[in-house]
Homo-oligomer: A and B are copies of this chain.
Amino acid sequence: MTANTTTDSTTRVEDLYPSRITQQPEFLERRDPVVYGDAQNGPLNAEQLEQFDRDGFLLLPGFYNDQQVALCHQELDRLRDSAETRQRPEAIVEPNGSALRSLFAVHRPEISTRFSQVASDKRILEMVMQVLGSEVYMHQSRVNLKPGFAGKEFFWHSDFETWHVEDGLPRMRTVSCSLLLDHNYEFNAPLMLLPGSHRKFVTCIGQAPEKHYQTSLKQQKYGVPDPESLTQLVKEHGITQATGPAGSLLLFDCNALHGSNGNITPFPRSNLFFVYNSIWNQLAKPFCNHQPRPEFIASREFSNTMKPREFI
């Protein structure tokens, strides 16, 4: 594939990571690099790149300062209190009411000027471009409002598995950034990762129904590894909790297995979530027989490359 090649949702690409096909789970070897760039071309040093390569993630505690976090919280409050926002197709509301749970496409200025600035923050973007060794566009973005007391669990999964099968993301050349907007303690259900799990692709069993995305953000049922595979992976890799103060940034590979427990503590766990994809890894036809998911879940605006800007 070259920069001149463009794909659309009918372009067929070889399926290097078949999933949800057989009835037996398999561990496939990763066929793609994890780090595409080097320490000479970006803000991450050799040790940090090595860590990302080895673990599949990198946690940067206190990446944003208190003032930057406060600006994000202001914007969070504005979006949560906006009845108009809750009615957007990009909004996911709580099952038991109308409270906003997630809002997609927050990198778009028409949805949030502030969050579009964070999405293009050169301090973030230059790290991502360094890891992926190319220019990037936004595959998906969202803000997750996770209040205390009622936070539900999110079962173990590889984001790549879903993006590959349901969206046609061909290769592993995609990085997620989670900006923690609240302190993540050990006990308010921080993200858990299996370090090193990104080097294997664990195939999943069963087929997701059409429009799966409308429920999958509330409860994950498809595209999750089976308990036996997970037990083996946890034994092999252990579990790391991504704890840290508000403003911490977690960079993680698209194929890193992660999940989170429920949260009965009063401490919320809101975060901004940006998924950057290499321009050399454009979406093709989904590797299942479904219609492509909406643009705000899996963008096909490949030419909208992100331009690094100063945040504040």
List residues of A whose CB falls within 8 A of some B CB: 148-149, 152-156, 185-187, 189, 192, 227, 230-231, 234, 239, 241, 259-267
Contacts and interface: CB of A to CB of B under 8 A. Distances in A.
Q: Which 6 A-B pairs have the closest CB atoms?
A: A262-B262, A231-B266, A186-B186, A153-B262, A261-B261, A153-B264
Nearest to A155: B264
Tell which of A148, A230, A241, A262 has the most Cβ of chain B within 10 Å. A262
Nearest to A232: B266
A221 to B, nearest CB: 13
Given A186-B187, A187-B192, A187-B239, A260 B264 contact: yes
Contacts of A234: 265-267
Contact of A265 (B239, B263, B264, B267): B239
A186 B187 CA distance: 7
Given A149-B227, A227-B149, A265 B186 contact: no
Nearest to A185: B239
A256 to B, nearest CB: 16
A237 to B, nearest CB: 12
A246 to B, nearest CB: 16
Contacts of A239: 185, 187, 265
Contacts of A185: 239
A153 B227 CA distance: 19
Given A186-B186, A186-B241, A263 B266 contact: no
A99 B156 CA distance: 23
Given A187-B241, A241-B187, A227 B262 contact: no
Contacts of A186: 186-187, 241
Contacts of A230: 149, 266
